[in-house]
């Protein structure tokens, strides 16, 4: 894996607080790539993150937002500045291995139709367990993290996945100009699944790179895996994803499964005391969906996606 990563890759990091975690990430990046190839978009952090970057890592290209604009907007701000062939998106609560970037490059260069490559994300506080090895999408409108909680020995080979998790994934820059950037209507959550779904509508794929190891703390910005804000906005964005990317016949074909999926999730969050938040997100998604730009595609690409949804649902239910 003899890649000149500095000429091929720019690293983009959206940041909101958690300066100690960000510091750990930047120290790990220094072993792999010049920090002059790093762009950080800070979403109005209040914990001294900006001072840390300016004082300890001055070579980094820093963009300071006056307000928290959300993940999608911050990432787009960085991507628009990228001049290399690839951009590596990283959450601020990650740490990478020295060979992570070369491994991602090796995988994405296997084929020109690979748009994005997901890392092998391992739980930061339990390094025997996986966190995410690419995401799948089902007929019920559910996004599913592959491998979560399983031993790190599993998923040992590169393979296709429905979507790359944007918390640690490499993207081919020239495809953005064709399919568009992250949809800023999503703000945060599900925006990477929307992007990957859209890429598939254009005939591109996502892959998982088995040797690209990234350690992930998880939920560092929101403080917990489930909270009222995350539940509401994720529910809304799942409606957005379906409305944007599925034509009428696909919505009709999968409608019963989608309704069942919404009902099951409502019961799940109701038991956690967040049922109303989930329903509010669904209602907001339905009432504001018309502001979105729909994505068109050929029938052949849509049928390929429908096949994947069926396959992923069967796998999920096993």
Quick one: which H or E segment has residue 299?
Answer: helix 299-317
Residues 102 and 175 in one domain: yes
Residue 189 sits in the same domain as residue 278: no
* Three-class HEC string of 163-214: ECCCCEEEEEHHHHHHHCCCCHHHCCCCHHHHHHHHHHHCCCEEEEEEEEEE
Same domain, 23 and 119: yes
Same domain, 131 and 169: yes
Residue 231 burial (CB count, 10 A): 23
Question: Is residue 221 a part of any domain in this protein?
Answer: no
Same domain, 253 and 104: no
pLDDT digits (tens, 9 = 90+) for 162-172: 999 999 999 99
> Beta partners for 132?
121
pLDDT of 226 reads 79
Show which of 167, 192, 216 is a domain's final residue: 216
Do 281 and 165 share a structural domain?
A: no
Query: Is 20 a member of any domain?
Result: yes
- Range(s) of the domain holding residue 240: 228-317
pLDDT attached to residue 68: 94
| Residues 86, 159 within the same domain | yes
> Among 196, 216, 236, which residue terminates a domain?
216
Mean pLDDT of the chain: 95
Residue spans of the chain under pLDDT 50:
222
pLDDT for the residue numbered 135: 96
Q: What is the pLDDT of residue 318?
A: 72
Determine the Cα angle at 132 with ends 40 and 155, to 5°. 130
202 assigned to some structural domain: yes
Structure tokens at 4: 């000149």
Q: Are residues 243 and 128 in the same domain?
A: no
Q: Alpha carbon 42 to chain centroid distance?
A: 18
CA-wise closest residue to 172 among 90, 105, 100, 116: 116
Q: How many domains does the chain have?
A: 2
Query: What's this model's pTM, rounded to 2 decimal places?
Result: 0.94
Residue 266: partners with Cβ closer than 8 Å, 6 or more residues away: 275, 278, 279
Residue 219 pLDDT: 62
Q: Indicate whether 299 belongs to any domain.
A: yes
**Using alpha carbons only, what angle is made at residue 264 by residues 227 and 146, rounded to the nearest 5 degrees?**
70
CATH number of the domain bearing residue 102: 3.90.550.60
Element spanning 13, H or E: strand 9-15
- Residues shown for the chain: 318
Among residues 182, 216, 250, which one ends one of the domains? 216
Q: Is 99 exposed, middle or buried (0-12, 13-18, 19+ CB in 10 A)?
A: middle
**Residue 188: what pLDDT?**
87
Same domain, 124 and 244: no
């Amino acid at each position: 894996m003899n890649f000149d990563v500095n000429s091929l890759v720019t690293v983009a990091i959206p940041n909101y607080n958690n300066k100690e975690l960000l510091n750990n990430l930047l120290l790990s990046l220094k072993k792999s790539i010049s920090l002059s190839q790093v762009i950080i978009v800070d979403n109005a952090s209040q914990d001294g993150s900006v001072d840390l970057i300016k004082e300890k890592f001055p070579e980094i290209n820093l963009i300071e937002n006056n307000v928290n604009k959300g993940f999608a907007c911050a990432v787009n701000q960085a991507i628009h500045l990228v001049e290399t062939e690839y951009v590596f998106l990283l959450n601020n609560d990650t740490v990478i291995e020295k060979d992570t970037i070369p491994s991602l490059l090796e995988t994405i260069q296997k084929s020109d139709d690979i748009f994005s490559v997901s890392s092998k994300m391992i739980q930061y506080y339990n390094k025997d367990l996986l966190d995410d090895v690419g995401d799948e999408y089902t007929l019920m409108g559910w996004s599913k993290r592959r491998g979560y909680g399983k031993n790190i020995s599993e998923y040992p080979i590169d393979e296709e996945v429905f979507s790359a998790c944007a918390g640690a994934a490499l993207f081919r820059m020239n495809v953005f100009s064709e399919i568009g950037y992250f949809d800023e209507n999503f703000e945060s959550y599900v925006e990477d699944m929307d992007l990957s779904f859209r890429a598939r509508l254009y005939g591109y794929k996502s892959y998982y790179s088995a040797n690209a190891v990234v350690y992930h703390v998880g939920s560092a910005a929101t403080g917990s895996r489930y909270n009222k804000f995350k539940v509401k906005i994720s529910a809304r964005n799942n409606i957005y994803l379906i409305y944007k990317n599925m034509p009428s016949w696909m919505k009709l074909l999968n409608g019963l499964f989608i309704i069942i999926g919404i009902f099951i999730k409502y019961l799940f969050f109701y038991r956690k005391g967040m049922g109303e938040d989930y329903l509010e997100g669904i209602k907001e998604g339905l009432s504001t969906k018309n502001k979105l730009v729909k994505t068109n595609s050929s029938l052949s690409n849509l049928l390929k996606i429908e096949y994947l949804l069926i396959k992923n649902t069967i796998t999920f239910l096993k």
